[in-house]
Amino acid sequence: MAQYDLIIRNGEIYDGSGDAPFKGDVAILDGVIARIASHIEGTANREIDATDHIVTPGFVDVHTHYDGQATWDSHLAPSSNLGTTTVVVGNCGVGFAPCRPQDREVLVQLMEGVEEIPGSAMNEGLPWNWESFPEYLDSLAAKPRDIDMAALLPHGPVRVYVMGQRAVDREAATAEDIARMKGLIKDALSAGAVGLSTSRTLLHRSSNGEFIPTYQAATSELKQLGESLSGAQGHVFQLISDWEDAEDEFSILRETSSKTGAKGTFTLLDIGNRPDHWREQLDRIEAAQADGLDIRGQVLSRPVGMLMGHPASMSSFYKRPTFLGLESLAWDEKIATLKQPDIKARILAEDNDHPHVFVEIFNNRFRHMYPLEEPINYLPNKEDSVAAIAEREGRLPEEWLYDYFLGNNGNNLVYIPAANFSENIPTLLDHPHTISALGDGGAHVGSICDTSANVYVLTKWVKERRVLELARAIQLLTRQPAELYSLKDRGLLAEGMRGDVNIIDFAALKLHTPHIVHDLPAGGKRFLQSADGIIATIKSGEVIYSNGQATGALPGKLVRGQQADPRLSA
């Protein structure tokens, strides 16, 4: 009889601690790492030869939005197919629980507007077999899936559940409202929520264009809700904000952590028109850490980048009246019609009617648009922008873009790097009090595909630029985010830890350009992305992906609350 379920042999082991690698074998039994040694004398039901490959913990992604997808899809791609074995959902204050039946459309519109998930997909895919947040967690726990997931309680649904239309109208919460919300938070945390999330940014709007119920919710409301968290239970308060009054906003996390010991985390970006913002935020983090408060910034390893064009969910022309009038046409007929000179002239003379906020911001910023390449270049040269190309050709940039979108049978796309279009990313990533995050898996499915940002740390900053050591980069993607959420049983290759492992051919590691698939409920479309070089991804000792292909194994579980370090309990 075999001693182990799986042995990975002869790999170069990067254990997630940041320490130097070592050659050896990893044995897994009953979902956990049973032994690590230079050579394991023993047998297994399956062995994998990792010679010339690196062996790492599975990636941990703490900023995703699979809240809906996880209820209808057993495969949490594009995270699980890119090496992630644990995700945290419920970020940015949006989600689907708690929810009364009469409020379902409100929450669908919130998720559709804020995280750009098609309402038609949610209306068909969501089972709605819950009302309370604990019931929602039970629904997640009952669904087989490939990787583990933990969930934050989102502020938006809590506010709507307690305040109804008053929340949608963004009225101030009364003392009674706050008391009821705190009761719901307590119930959710007892059921296994890992913390609380909220959003205070004007970029987040419902699909009807209205600001979300949590936008500019009183600082005092959030501070009172934060009192429900507990550092002893490993809770986290996650926040996204425009930082108009940065000290006031940061005080929400600071006061919550000071009173409760809970951790705080927020979106930390290098914003082009506010060049000192990121350093000021690091100063606030460092001051909080010096005072014993665990507050950390979430950093995306590349620009926050949108993809626009006719196959995507939006473009510079997608809400112009004449363009909208062609929506019912078959694809080839639509593209042929768009090429007609009179149709082109009419569309170019029109404006978009109530476009998404992303289009409002970037519609005419042609110096920020770049024709998409294969493979995608996430830090393109400014002379390759749409504006620069059009100028060289003596054409108006909007007219050039119109024709470009019609190339490749209408499938051409542009990439728009927004925040973090900067050389400061390695500095932000390597700071001791930040974490690599913000991939937004499961969200912005028709315009953003940043889930691969974890792999990008390895391909760009380790392999190409050589500004991060590989051992440090693996730590950023594994143990560091796991520790933020007190998931101390993973993110590290050590005996007793979860058997979550990646086997990677580092020399061959390469990201492919995102592509559109139509596999959401109701035929909805989304971007997916693949990579070369990820030989195998193993979750709890089972191979869930082999050379980019799903094996069908579904060992993933719902993680309820903090997880103790098994080495300490042993």
Residue 273 has pLDDT above 80, yes or no: yes
- Look up residue 432 and give its two tokens: 């001791």
> How does residue 203 score in pLDDT terms, banded at 50, 70 and 90?
very low
Q: What is the mean pLDDT of residues 288-312?
A: 96
Residue 23 has pLDDT above 80, yes or no: yes
Q: What separation, in Å, do the N-terminal and C-terminal C-alpha atoms of the chain show?
A: 26
Residue 204 has pLDDT above 50, yes or no: no
Q: What is the pLDDT of residue 170?
A: 81
Q: Is 139 helix (H, G, I), strand (E, B) or coil?
A: helix
Where exactly are the structural domains of the chain? Answer: 60-303+428-484, 306-417
Q: What is the mean pLDDT of residues 480-509?
A: 98
Helix (H) / strand (E) element for 5: namely strand 4-13
Q: What is the pLDDT of residue 291?
A: 98
Q: Are 82 and 529 in contact (CB under 8 A)?
A: yes
Alpha-carbon distance of 405 to 427, in angstroms, equals 36
Provide the CATH topology of domain 60-303+428-484: TIM Barrel (3.20.20)
Q: What is the pLDDT of residue 305?
A: 86
DSSP string, 236-252: EEEEEE--TTHHHHHHH
Positive or negative, the CA dihedral 335, 336, 339, 344 is negative
Bridge partners for 266 per DSSP: 239, 297
What's the chain's average pLDDT? Answer: 94
% of residues, the chain, pLDDT over 90:
85
> How does residue 209 score in pLDDT terms, banded at 50, 70 and 90?
low
Bridge partners for 271 per DSSP: 274
Q: What is the mean pLDDT of residues 35-54?
A: 97
Alpha-carbon distance of 10 to 7, in angstroms, equals 10
> How does residue 111 score in pLDDT terms, banded at 50, 70 and 90?
confident
Q: Are 528 and 536 in contact (CB under 8 A)?
A: no
567 phi and psi, to 5 degrees?
Answer: -70, -30
Residue 283: count other Cβ atoms within 10 Å of its Cβ.
11
Q: Are 76 and 178 in contact (CB under 8 A)?
A: no
Q: Where are the beta strands (DSSP E) in 406-456?
A: 414-417, 434-436
Q: What is the pLDDT of residue 208?
A: 53
Residue 37 has pLDDT above 50, yes or no: yes
Residue 569 has pLDDT above 60, yes or no: yes
CA dihedral 161, 165, 167, 168 (to 10 degrees): 120
